[in-house]
Structure 1
Amino acid sequence: MQTVVCMKWGTRYPALYVNRLWSMIKRHTTRPTRLVCFTDDAEGVDDAVATFPLPEIKIADDIAYTPWRKLSLWQAPLADLSGDVLFLDLDIVITGHLDAMFDFKPGTFCACENWTQMGQGIGNTSVFRWHVGKNTHIFNEFESKGEAIRKKYGIEQVYISDVVDKMVFWPHEWCVSFKHTLVPTWPLNFFRTPPLPEGTKIVAFTGKPDPDEAAIGKWPLSTPWKRIYKYARPTPWIDEHWC
């Protein structure tokens, strides 16, 4: 049984995102696969998805519901999980077969090479695979020295990349970023639709826009003047896959 894990907290991503993730996983796996969702609110989540409460972690209130909470996954035991487990953020679109992500470098921590820090040895945790019970020091040390770790690293994926025993990046064509990989550079982004390259398995929508927004060409911005250069044309292939 292959296990995929996601986390849902707060209100930004409703149950719809979990259910669509499950739908995409089923279409893109041939082996028996289950989805486990750690959440503070399981209402509306498909009954076929296994739900568990958010794992306990000692964490400051102001980062309690940020990606730092993902560090809770590095504890053991963890629910009923064992072996290699694939984690997927909710704001991703699956466009290719996933079984190979369980076969790639078994037993090793695998992550995307962070698209804004190429060549710096930093993994992006939108899509990663870890072995439950290995590298539990990532969780234990954060619980004992959380504030110092936060000040030193700033972002949880930088911390993980520095202290994990070994990290291997997914093949670059497997996992791409919508805004950092696919959106054409300015000013071509105003005239060309973001493409979907052959061989892509997962498209990550870090920050904004989310998949439903990118599909219709909406890019919410906190600073209006950034519209001068931050724009993506409506992208029909998102709706073809994010369902």
Structure 2
Amino acid sequence: MTEPTSTHADTNYVICMKWGTKYGAEYVNRLYNMVERHLTLPFTFVCLTDDSTGIRPEVVCYPIPELNLPPNLPERGWKKLTTFKPDLYDLKGTALFLDIDLVIVDNIDCFFTHKAEHDDSVMIIRDWKKPWRMVGNSSVYRFKVGYNTYPNLLSFFEQNFAKIRTEVRHEQAFLSNYLREHHHLEYWDSSWCVSFKYHCLRKIPLAYFMPPKKPTGAKIVVFHGEINPPDAIKGGGGKWHRYVLPSEWIKQAWR
């Protein structure tokens, strides 16, 4: 692991997280490659991980901060909330969190240059399936790091976890609820971040004859559920009602 060091203020950070064995180092390396191709602004790429083996040297690796939670919890992605740790390895600037299994297909400068309405806003994807709930999808979110902008978020979560876990199923629901109550939550342009499952796959029977489409204006394709980028590239991996033909455009992007 890289030792924590002080950094200059106002740095653009791209942060991802890898733990366990589901995703290998190649996911982090490919994500770095995609960011390098599609971000023209200077940036520092950070991976919070329990195993930095095989991750390319340009990626700054730190251990995932500990959460003060009961042991042996079912995995719900709670670890993502540690990105809001007030003193996260002396990082200071604007941070864009990206899931390691997404695919970048166009320039992403706008995720840094877009001006939020409020200084303490977290920019996030608005949930595609039930948008009326105003819950954000945490595959892509932007926040301030190192300015103590959200000083109580993590401590509130840890101190109230027993109650929180009875109210929400995952970290993005807690994060959305907390930010709407104590800070501000704003959403990306709906065309920027698309779901491979909901926006790219063709409906049956067209799916048997036409490969998945790349939606107009899409910059990031998010993979959630049973289909991952390798499945999209070779075809298969979906349920019977989500038949998947190979996607050449995903193959060209995920490298």
Q: Does 1:177 align with 2:187?
A: no
Aligned pairs for 1:48-127 within 5 A = 48-63=58-73, 65-106=75-116, 107=119, 108-127=121-140
Alpha-carbon distance in 2 for matches of 1:162, 1:175: 21
Q: Does 1:39 align with 2:49?
A: yes
Aligned pairs for 1:200-211 within 5 A = 200-211=218-229
Q: What's the TM-score, normalizing by structure 1? A: 0.92
1:33 Cα offset (Å): 1.2
1:11 Cα offset (Å): 0.6
In structure 2, the partner of 1:223 is none
Percent identity reads 37
Which piece of structure 1 moves more, 176-185 or 129-138? 129-138
Q: Does 1:239 align with 2:254?
A: no
On the 8 A contact 1:10/1:65 being kept in 2, the answer is: no
Q: Secondary structure at the match of 1:127?
A: strand
Aligned to 1:146, which of 157, 161, 178? 161
On the 8 A contact 2:199/2:215 being kept in 1, the answer is: no
| Structure 2: segments with no counterpart, 5+ residues | 1-10
1:27 Cα offset (Å): 0.3
On the 8 A contact 2:86/2:150 being kept in 1, the answer is: no
On the 8 A contact 1:112/1:123 being kept in 2, the answer is: yes
On the 8 A contact 1:7/1:90 being kept in 2, the answer is: yes
Q: Does 1:2 align with 2:12?
A: yes
Which piece of structure 1 moves more, 148-157 or 172-181? 148-157
In structure 1, the partner of 2:151 is 136
Alpha-carbon distance in 1 for matches of 2:153, 2:74: 16
On the 8 A contact 1:115/1:181 being kept in 2, the answer is: no
Which piece of structure 1 moves more, 16-25 or 191-200? 191-200
Alpha-carbon distance in 2 for matches of 1:172, 1:125: 14
Q: Deviations over 1:45-83 (max 9, x none)?
A: 001100000111112334474311111111210112223
Q: What's the TM-score, normalizing by structure 2? A: 0.88
Alpha-carbon distance in 2 for matches of 1:60, 1:201: 38
Alpha-carbon distance in 1 for matches of 2:64, 2:31: 18
Alpha carbons of 1:147 and 1:238: their partners in 2 closer, same or farther (altered >3 Å)?
same
Alpha-carbon distance in 2 for matches of 1:111, 1:210: 21
Aligned length: 237
Cα root mean square deviation, aligned: 1.5
| Structure 1: segments with no counterpart, 5+ residues | 221-225
On the 8 A contact 1:110/1:129 being kept in 2, the answer is: yes
Alpha-carbon distance in 1 for matches of 2:126, 2:198: 12
Which piece of structure 1 moves more, 170-179 or 143-152? 143-152
In structure 2, the partner of 1:168 is 186
After TM superposition, the runs of 4+ consecutive aligned structure 1 residues lying more than 3 A away are 60-66
1:208 alignment partner AA: E
Q: Deviations over 1:3-58 (max 9, x none)?
A: 10000000111000000000001001112112100000000000110000011111
On the 8 A contact 1:9/1:65 being kept in 2, the answer is: no
1:90 alignment partner AA: I
Alpha-carbon distance in 2 for matches of 1:14, 1:135: 31
Alpha-carbon distance in 2 for matches of 1:83, 1:33: 10
